[in-house]
Chains A and B, each alone.
Chain A
Amino acid sequence: MTSPDSEFDQRVRAGILSEAIDTAALERSLRDRIQRPRIPRWAFAAAAGIILAIVSGVTYRTLFRPPTPPLCIAAAEDHRREIVNGEPRRWLTDVAAIRSLALKQGVPASAIPALGAVGYRLERGRLCFLKKQIFLHLVYAKDGDEISVYLRPRGSDSPFNHSVHEAFAGPEDLAYFQTDRLSTVFVARHNVLRFAVKQRFVLQ
């Protein structure tokens, strides 16, 4: 470095460094940031992934789910009136009497769902009309929670098929299927798909 450069550099350096800056507040802010617990980037990525999955699921469920069959809508309305709102109906509460009624309707005892393994007991039953068709309406209960099961011998005009399907009608969740002999609809205010799948498996 030549002497003029050296002198010039010294002048520039002195000029720039003469600017007095009080960095105490900046230092305090920096210390706060260092002491603050750090959320790792993967946590943000994971949260974003979960939110995206939920939003996609809800969107798919809202936009692309198949329309709920009219018979299922009727079952949901019946469940809402008779079980949720507790409108007065005459019920059979004796299990033997319910089984007898079922048999008269062409529903064998083996087709009556046994939900004891998951804590639900058969509480009452009656006949009802859904879309002008007679169904056996069974009610299972567990700690105040109630599930309706609608059964009827399979007709030639049954809208169901052998797969278990899930459907929604307002706050009611539904699952439905048919076997060679019966059409079955499960209704509750929570997911009933697993009950229907299990029952479908039993009836195979």
Chain B
Amino acid sequence: MARRLTMDAGASEDLVQDTMLLAWRGFHQFEPGTNARAWLFRILFNVFHSDGRKAMRAPDVPLCIVRPMLQEAAEIAEALEALALDKRTVILLCVVEGFTCREAAEILHLPIGTVMSRLSRARQELRAMLTSMAQEVVR
């Protein structure tokens, strides 16, 4: 999620570390019985937006080891990264992470209608890009 959101290995590691540290220090604020994943993602997006994507300092050497993806997966990742941030975000939350539109709306502090319409447009764009990529390959 962080890698696809920031599109940068170092920045995504910073984002994850800052999110987990904030969650650790603010764990007393978590209400037991509520959705812990949604709470963590809310923190992640707060950090992401408050730090500013460009301002996030990347570590000198990325810590995570990423194995190469299959052709189709790589195309999906490429198409996803080509989406605008707001659309990419709803795809990541609702499609990849499996949150409902209501949960995504709470995480992003947005009206549910906005999330639904963004998701619909994001799907359309993503689908169009993937179709276009497939046609390029066939040609």
Chain A interface SS verdict (over half): helix
- Per the bound structure, the CA–CA distance linking A33 and B22 in Å amounts to 11
B-contacting residues, A1-29, CB 8 Å: 5, 8-9, 11-23, 25-26, 29
What would 11 more interface pairs be, CB under 8 Å, given A5-B123, A8-B127, A19-B77?
A8-B123, A13-B98, A15-B69, A16-B4, A16-B76, A19-B67, A20-B66, A23-B63, A26-B63, A29-B63, A34-B24
Stretch of B13-21, B43-51, B103-111 on the interface side:
B13-21
Q: Given A12-B96, A34-B24, do A21 and B66 touch, yes or no (CB 8 Å)?
A: yes
Question: In the complex, are the beta carbons of B126 and A25 less than 8 A apart?
Answer: no
Question: In the complex, are the beta carbons of A21 and B65 less than 8 A apart?
Answer: yes
A-contacting residues, B1-44, CB 8 Å: 3-4, 13, 16-17, 20-21, 24-25
The interface residues of chain A lying within 8 Å CB-to-CB of B69 are 15, 18-19
Residues of A within 8 A of B (CB): 5, 8-9, 11-23, 25-26, 29-30, 33-34, 38
**Shortest beta-carbon distance, B122 to chain A, in Å?**
10
Q: Which partner residue on chain A sits nearest B59 by CB separation?
A: A29
* B: number of interface residues (CB 8 Å): 30
A-contacting residues, B42-95, CB 8 Å: 63-67, 69-70, 72-73, 75-77, 80, 91-92, 95
Q: Which partner residue on chain A sits nearest B70 by CB separation?
A: A18
Q: Which partner residue on chain B sits nearest A5 by CB separation?
A: B123
The interface residues of chain A lying within 8 Å CB-to-CB of B91 are 12
